[in-house]
Amino acid sequence: MIFKVKEGAKLSCTLGSCQTCLQVPVSHGAVLQGKNEATIADNKAGVNIMPFGTCARVSPPVPCTPVLMMKWLMGNSTNKIRGEMALLNCSILPCLNGGIIKVEKSGQKED
- Whether the per-residue pLDDT at 107 is higher than 70: the answer is no
Q: Which of 1-5, 28-32, 45-49 has the highest mean pLDDT?
A: 45-49
Q: How confident is the model at residue 111 (pLDDT cuts 50, 70, 90)?
A: very low
- What local confidence, expressed as pLDDT, does residue 70 receive? 98
Each residue's pLDDT tens digit, 55-99: 999 889 999 999 999 999 999 999 999 999 999 999 999 999 999
Q: Is domain 1-111 in CATH 3.30.70, yes or no?
A: no
Please state, for a pLDDT cut of 90, what percent of the chain lies above it. 90
Predicted TM-score of the model (pTM): 0.92
Please determine, for residue 103, whether its predicted confidence score (pLDDT) is greater than 50: yes
CA nearest neighbour of 9 among 98, 96, 90, 66: 90
pLDDT above 80 for 106: no
Q: Could you tell me if 25 and 52 are in contact, meaning their C-beta atoms sit under 8 angstroms apart?
A: no
Give percent helix, percent strand, percent coil of the chain, each to the nearest 5. Answer: 0, 35, 65
